[in-house]
Amino acid sequence: ARGRDYHKVMRSRLQKLCDRIEAEVGPFGHRAFADSAPVMEVELAVQAGIGWRGKHTLLLDRTGSWFFLGEIYCDLELETDSPIGDHCGSCRRCIDICPTQAITAPYQLDARRCISYLTIELKGAIPEELRPLIGNRVYGCDDCQLVCPWNGFAQTSPELDFQVRNGLDRASMLELFAWSEEEFGRRMQGSPIRRIGYERWLRNLAVGLGNAPPSPEVILSLKGKSNHASALVREHVNWALARHGWRPDDHGVAA
């Protein structure tokens, strides 16, 4: 997410692949998708033998799960491949590590508790009981992948489009929270993070700051947005301030 929007990268590559196929076989009906439509990507990939579904419900193969899925729907007659076996065995690391216990059982995910859903897809308020469990994860969560033994074999991609942009690997939450809407739009140009919008960006950071160690800097930063025009932002900022022992009628900084 800290690099170029993978949706754009994948769609571009899928279209190039379609062009190459067309050059070989002639015109054919096709449409490409990359996490951009209600397509059952993982299930299709499992049936195609690309990998197996891990207990965290993501696609796995022997090189791990750090890859993107894309599909080309077409009217060509193609040979089918067979599914491969499951290689998770008795491992349950992804289940045990999940901060919100969103993986309710092997191969079962309650998306309503998943931090990736809460910080990226959810448009409204994050349920209060889940906020402390989010920690400092302000855009997604990869804990279930980080702990997976198969990802021990994964290699860092040399793709330049996926290199970190705008110093996002060095910026603190305080720095990010101080961005104006104009700065957010400018710095996140071409990034998948931009699609959640400035309001949800501040919402997520407010939760992260609410879970941060208390400090005068954190309190001051949060207080600066306690009267934000967005009710969504105000709610999460005031929740964060309350976590640090500050109330709207306080004039000092909580200890």
Q: Residues 143-155: pLDDT tens digits?
A: 999 999 999 887 7
Q: How far apart are CA 123 and CA 93, in angstroms?
A: 30
Q: How far apart are CA 133 and CA 150, in angstroms?
A: 26
- Check whether 116 has a pLDDT greater than 90: yes
Residue 19 CA neighbour count, 13 Å, CB half:
6
- Check whether 251 has a pLDDT greater than 70: no
Neighbours of 191 (CB within 10 A): 18
Averaged pLDDT for residues 17-40: 91
Each residue's pLDDT tens digit, 64-78? 998 889 999 999 999
Which residue out of 5, 19, 35, 249 is catalytically annotated?
A: 35
- Check whether 189 has a pLDDT greater than 90: no
- Check whether 254 has a pLDDT greater than 50: no
Q: How far apart are CA 9 and CA 16, in angstroms?
A: 11
| Average pLDDT of the chain, as a whole number | 90
Q: Quick one: pLDDT band at residue 253, thresholds 50, 70, 90?
A: very low
pLDDT for 167 equals 66
**142 has catalytic annotation:** no
Residue 51 CA neighbour count, 13 Å, CB half:
21
Q: Above pLDDT 90, what percent of the chain?
A: 73
Each residue's pLDDT tens digit, 103-114? 999 999 999 999
pLDDT for 163 equals 61
Question: What are the helix (H) ranges across the chain?
Answer: 6-25, 41-47, 93-97, 115-116, 131-134, 143-146, 173-177, 181-187, 197-210, 216-223, 231-243
Each residue's pLDDT tens digit, 206-243? 999 999 999 999 999 999 999 999 999 999 999 999 99
52 to each of 46, 48, 150, 244, how far by Cα in Å? 5, 10, 12, 44
What residue type is assigned to position 99 of the chain?
P
Q: Above pLDDT 70, what percent of the chain?
A: 91
**Which residues are CB-contacts of 214 (< 8 A; sequence separation ≥ 6)?**
244, 245, 254, 255
**Which residues are CB-contacts of 225 (< 8 A; sequence separation ≥ 6)?**
177, 202, 206, 233, 234, 237
Phi, psi of 9 (to 5 degrees): -65, -45
Instruction: Report the predicted TM-score, pTM, of the whole model to 2 decimal places.
Output: 0.87
Four-residue CA torsion sign, 41, 42, 45, 47: negative
Q: How far apart are CA 237 and CA 223, in angstroms?
A: 8
pLDDT for 74 equals 95
pLDDT for 4 equals 59
pLDDT for 94 equals 98
What residue type is assigned to position 156 of the chain?
T
